[in-house]
């Protein structure tokens, strides 16, 4: 298996990307080869300095870098030799089996949608976040920002995608799927969730347990929580701010520390035809390590084949 | 000034309502008379036990009680002698100048809308929550749940209502108004906030400072944050859950303790023609005291006249 990594993406690239690669390889099985995509002159010396075993990686030179604040489509067009562009080319050709970047999120999304495309039947690919829970487990919330206006059918598809991810990657036998709402009764909510409710209830591919309120996002009442990307993005960023508040107030609590979303690495783009993982711009070595491990798991467990099977007409 | 209080509303009524009345009167100016509406047989002994000065209150007998889980419109119709119905009758006749209840929220909303009605020009009355901020001040978020589907014009009106409340009641000289969004740029967000942005930007009645993200809800970047009631309700309930998590984990932090929304009493229904305050079902004495104090301030500062002036065609 070959996993491609954009070494130039993120605020601390390439140094933290290289350190993350080293950390991953130190504990990984030898079958996985990492394809490191970036500016050779900047990346190679760091790889040597970390003493990474040359049999475990390939370095692919990418002379251009898409900056964090560039316009996604313009940058992808204007910088064909950027690490993100080259990564998607390798992925499209199946020279790599997954692609990871902590770089420009918009460019990653555009690349995923246009170089790789959605799996047949998936209307809108989605991104998610893991949710820390007090018992040590994690739930999943989706969409968290790329689909800010949704149709009821989109929410149903997020539920199926999230459920498959929770089952195959988060190891939850029968993920309980809930709809984020402002009341528990079926009739509650805005027009979107009112229309989505019966679709979720009547879908045999998921285990739907009903509505869940904002107060239960971090509870153990559901494993997969579905919402439109506007609401989900507000929830995610608010959750991130809770960690910031806790740390600025020197609250040192094991559970609160799990609100440090940096630790979770990144989010897979669920619903596109090859594994793509987008990292947080502030990703450091542990986040890169974690993203590579998730990518490996997605390939090993053939998550995308499972998704394809579930979206066959 | 006469302030009416539903003594039968809330999980701990009438005992905590009576205790709240006592606490308020102990520190209040003698010009305010409290009109206590409830079951005489249950309320009168508690008032006597607390030793409340008979010159400071009137007791209005209400033999019926609308329970927390009754259907709002059915209950209002079926129980004409309930404390909520009698409260709204007194308010509509201006026998009282404000009405407070921690009872059935739906019945309070329906009562406010149909017994009292919206101020001319206000399309959708709204409810808000205060937001604790680390510097000790409070911001305001609205709508938090009664308008789950909004039009852009509704968000503009929430901004004006919230701004007037922040100015006159929260004592913020020039409240900075922000639009809750999933990015800071003007073009970000769902169709609703994209359309609302120029309305807010071009409105001379508010000081609009742009978009704000979920991570900044508790920051000092804005004083009034505007959103649809679906998003706002999710945010409010999630914020409430943060306090629950912190207290279950025995985190004792002065700022985290301010996430105990119980302390804030209740929310005024902004945009209806008389002051109406809806309390949390779990309201205890300090919440009742705080709601009475807010109602007094709303009347003293003539908030509703200010709102009327701003909504004149």
pLDDT in tens, A177-198: 999 999 999 999 999 999 999 9
pLDDT at B265: 77
Answer whether B149 sits within 8 Å of A190, measured CB to CB. yes
The minimum CA-CA distance between A197 and chain B, rounded to whole Å, is: 15
How buried is residue A196: exposed, middle or buried, by Cβ count under 10 Å (0-12/13-18/19+)? buried
Residues A230-243 have a mean pLDDT of 94
pLDDT at A165: 97
pLDDT at B66: 96
pLDDT of residue B20 exceeding 80: yes
pLDDT in tens, B202-256: 999 999 999 999 999 999 999 999 999 999 999 999 999 998 999 999 999 999 9
Q: Which residues of A touch B243 (CB under 8 A)?
A: none
Answer whether A235 sits within 8 Å of B238, measured CB to CB. yes
pLDDT in tens, A41-61: 999 999 999 999 999 999 999
pLDDT in tens, A89-118: 999 999 999 999 999 999 999 999 999 999
Q: Which residues contact A194 (CB under 8 A, 6 or more apart)?
A: A187, A188
B14 preceded by a cis bond (ω within 30 of 0): yes
Interface contacts A/B by beta carbons within 8 Å: 117
pLDDT of residue A312 exceeding 80: yes
Percent of chain B with pLDDT over 90: 88
pLDDT at B261: 79
Q: Are B132 and B253 in contact (CB under 8 A)?
A: no
Tokens for B76, please give them: 């209002």
The minimum CA-CA distance between A233 and chain B, rounded to whole Å, is: 6
Higher pLDDT, B312 or A201: A201
Decide which of 1.10.8.60, 3.90.1170.40, 3.20.20.60, 3.40.718.10 is the CATH code for A123-261. Answer: 3.40.718.10
pLDDT in tens, B262-291: 777 789 999 999 999 999 888 899 999 999
pLDDT at B182: 96
Q: Give the closest of A149, A191, A234 to B191, CB-based.
A: A149
pLDDT of residue A206 exceeding 90: yes
Q: Which residues contact A252 (CB under 8 A, 6 or more apart)?
A: none
H or E element in which residue A130 lies: strand A126-132
Q: Among residues 148-177 of chain A, which lie with CB inside 8 Å of chain B?
A: 148-149
Answer whether A253 sits within 8 Å of B256, measured CB to CB. no
pLDDT of residue B313 exceeding 80: no
Interchain contact A252–B (C-beta under 8 A):
no
pLDDT at A264: 78
A48 preceded by a cis bond (ω within 30 of 0): no
Q: Which residues of B touch A256 (CB under 8 A)?
A: 245-246, 249, 251
pLDDT of residue A127 exceeding 90: yes
Whole-prediction pTM value?
0.94
CATH architecture of A1-121+271-303: 3-Layer(aba) Sandwich (3.40)
Sheet with B2-6, edge to edge strand ranges: B57-61, B33-38, B2-6, B98-101, B276-279, B266-270, B126-132, B138-142, B224-226, B176-180, B207-212
* Sequence ranges of the domains in chain B: 1-117+272-305, 120-261
- Report the C-alpha gap between B17 and A53 in whole angstroms: 72
Mean pLDDT rounded to a whole number for chain A: 95
Q: How confident is the model at residue A135 (pLDDT cuts 50, 70, 90)?
A: confident
pLDDT of residue A26 exceeding 90: yes
Interchain contact A231–B (C-beta under 8 A):
yes
Q: Give the closest of B230, B239, B240 to A182, CB-based.
A: B230
Interface ipTM: 0.93
pLDDT of residue A263 exceeding 90: no
pLDDT in tens, B159-181: 999 999 999 999 999 999 999 99
pLDDT of residue B76 exceeding 80: yes
B1-117+272-305 shares its CATH topology with B120-261: yes
User: CATH topology for B120-261?
Assistant: Isopropylmalate Dehydrogenase (3.40.718)
Q: How confident is the model at residue A145 (pLDDT cuts 50, 70, 90)?
A: very high
pLDDT in tens, B23-74: 999 988 889 999 999 999 999 999 999 999 999 999 999 999 999 889 999 9
pLDDT at B58: 97
Tokens for B278, please give them: 């809806």
pLDDT at B30: 87
- Report the C-alpha gap between A294 and A275 in whole angstroms: 10
Q: Which residues of A touch B249 (CB under 8 A)?
A: 134, 253, 255-256
pLDDT in tens, B79-99: 999 999 999 999 999 999 999
Percent of chain A with pLDDT over 70: 100
Q: Which residues of A touch B191 (CB under 8 A)?
A: 149
Mean pLDDT rounded to a whole number for chain B: 95
pLDDT at A29: 82
CATH superfamily of this structure's domain B1-117+272-305: Isopropylmalate Dehydrogenase (3.40.718.10)
């Amino acid at each position: 298996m070959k996993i491609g990594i954009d070494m130039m993406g993120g605020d601390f690239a390439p140094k933290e990307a290289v350190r993350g690669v080293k950390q991953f390889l130190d504990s990984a099985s030898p079958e996985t080869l990492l394809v490191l995509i970036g500016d050779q002159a900047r990346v190679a010396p760091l790889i040597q300095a970390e003493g990474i075993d040359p049999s475990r990686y390939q370095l692919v030179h990418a002379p251009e870098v898409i900056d964090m604040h560039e316009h996604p489509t313009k940058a992808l067009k204007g910088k064909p030799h950027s690490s993100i562009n080259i990564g998607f080319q390798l992925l499209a050709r199946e020279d790599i089996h997954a692609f990871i970047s902590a770089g420009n999120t918009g460019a990653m999304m555009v690349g995923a949608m246009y170089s790789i495309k959605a799996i047949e039947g998936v209307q809108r690919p989605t991104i998610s976040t893991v949710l820390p829970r007090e018992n040590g487990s994690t739930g999943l919330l989706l969409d968290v920002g790329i689909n800010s206006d949704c149709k009821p059918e989109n929410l149903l598809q997020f539920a199926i995608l999230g459920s498959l991810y929770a089952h195959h990657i988060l190891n939850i036998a029968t993920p309980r799927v809930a709809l984020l709402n402002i009341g528990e009764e079926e009739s509650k909510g805005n027009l979107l969730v009112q229309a989505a409710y019966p679709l979720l209830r009547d879908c045999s591919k998921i285990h739907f347990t009903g509505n869940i309120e904002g107060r239960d996002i971090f509870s153990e009442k559901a494993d997969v929580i579905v919402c439109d990307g506007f609401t989900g993005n507000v929830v995610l960023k608010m959750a991130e701010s809770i960690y910031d508040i806790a740390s600025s107030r020197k609250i040192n609590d094991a559970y609160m520390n799990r609100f440090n979303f940096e630790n979770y690495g990144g989010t897979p783009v669920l619903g596109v035809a090859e594994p793509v993982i987008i990292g947080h711009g502030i990703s450091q070595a542990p986040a890169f390590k974690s993203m590579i491990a998730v990518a490996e798991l997605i390939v090993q467990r053939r998550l995308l084949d499972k998704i394809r099977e579930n979206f066959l007409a």
